[in-house]
Amino acid sequence: MRLDKFLANMGYGSRKDVKTLVKKKRITVNNQIVRKADIHIDPNKDQIMCDDLIIEYKEYIYLMLHKPAGYLSATEDQKQKTVLDLIKKQDKVLEPFPVGRLDKDTEGLLLLTNDGQLAHELLSPKKHVDKTYIAKLARNITDEEVKQFAEGVLLEDGYVTKPARLRTIEDNMVKITITEGKFHQIKRMFEAVDNKVLYLKRLSMGSLYLDKNLDIGEYRELTTEEVSQLSSK
């Protein structure tokens, strides 16, 4: 990997900024001052330092975002705000993208990463990753509907959903767990039984739970433990 790319990826600015650092003799590779920014290094073997600081190599970034309503689950959009607008510049260097979609008006847990393999594993229909939401509904659910959701709901397009767990947590509020991620799935499931979702928030995805300390719009990096638990599914 080129040194300037490595430094840029690790948050040391643009390639131009990196060139300046090199010119000022602030960068060493294996304790040797480097003179050119475009030399090749092995990030897993070489020790790269800026001033007295060892730069640890990081290939992947994993961010847990408490998504607010009003943001698209996309990396860019011509007109509307996207979840990437909530991420600081230095955390965008490794180009994280949202793992799956929450609707624009849905809040809650959204994972952003540049780890394509993990994203694929979490989204693959074959893996049946649990996703739990709380939903505020227009009316209370019936026992019959709990049974119907457990057996599968016939949507307007003829698709029958996989079993979903549904339980009331308070008046007009339910917790629902689904294992798929069809377009507007939860809203369409309730529409199929003549109900309506008024508010929707995702609480968890697989082993990952929305951190209660994250205010709406805030995010943090996943811990190593959270990443390894997610990957081991």
Give me the residues that bind ligand URA (CB under 6 A), please.
Answer: 102-103, 106, 184-187, 200
Q: Which two tokens stand for residue 16?
A: 């131009």
Nearer to ligand URA, 43 or 100 (CB): 100
Cα atoms in the 13 Å half-sphere on the side-chain side of 190: 26
- Per DSSP bridges, beta strands 48-50 and 32-33 are unpaired
How far apart CA 172 and CA 187 sit, in angstroms, is 14
Nearer to ligand URA, 96 or 108 (CB): 108
Nearer to ligand URA, 10 or 176 (CB): 176
Kindly state the smallest distance separating residue 102's Cβ from ligand URA, in Å.
Answer: 4
Kindly state the smallest distance separating residue 136's Cβ from ligand URA, in Å.
Answer: 13
Which region holds residue 47: left if phi is over 0, alpha if psi is between -120 and 50, else beta?
beta
How far apart CA 71 and CA 84 sit, in angstroms, is 9
Kindly state the smallest distance separating residue 225's Cβ from ligand URA, in Å.
Answer: 26
Kindly state the smallest distance separating residue 38's Cβ from ligand URA, in Å.
Answer: 44
Residue 45: other Cβ atoms inside 10 A = 8
Q: Which two tokens stand for residue 43?
A: 């990030």
Nearer to ligand URA, 13 or 181 (CB): 181
- Exposure class string for 93-120: b at 16+ Cβ within 10 A, else e: bbebbbbebbbeebbbbbbbbbbeebbe
Catalytic positions are 103
Kindly state the smallest distance separating residue 187's Cβ from ligand URA, in Å.
Answer: 4
H-only helix segments in the chain: 3-9, 15-23, 116-123, 143-151, 185-192, 224-231
